[in-house]
């Protein structure tokens, strides 16, 4: 029975890890909205990218209160100005910030 318990625990951990997996999007930054009158976030979109599950208008959001937010904004702006594609990661469950898909990682 001890061996069966180990198998069940391993399956439960795999299921939990699958639920927390990430989704990755790649593309050129098409739009940036650096401010919003009622939200403490900045927003951006990637050309031709559809976020799944849906985020209104396919906008990614980053809270200005998150660690590295200013550096992330600088990276998104630099990518937009230079035409360099970016890689954006969200959690597959698409947690939201400011009611949009939260970009948890952005890399040039």
pLDDT tens-digit series, residues 11-37: 333 434 444 578 999 999 999 999 888
pTM summary value: 0.79
- Position 103 scores a pLDDT of 96
Residue by residue, DSSP assigns 40-89 as SEEEEEETT---SS--GGG-EEEETTSTTHHHHHHHHHHHHHHT--EEEE
């Amino acid at each position: 029975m001890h061996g069966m318990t180990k198998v069940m625990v391993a399956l439960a951990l795999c299921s939990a890890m699958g639920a927390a997996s990430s989704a990755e999007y790649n593309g050129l930054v098409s739009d940036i909205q650096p401010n919003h009158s009622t939200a403490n976030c900045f927003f951006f979109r990637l050309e031709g990218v559809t976020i799944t599950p849906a985020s209104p208008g396919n906008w990614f959001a980053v809270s200005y209160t998150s660690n590295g937010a200013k550096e992330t904004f600088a990276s998104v702006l630099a990518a937009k100005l230079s035409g360099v594609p970016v890689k954006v990661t969200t959690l597959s469950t698409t947690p939201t910030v400011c009611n949009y898909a939260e970009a948890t990682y952005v890399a040039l």
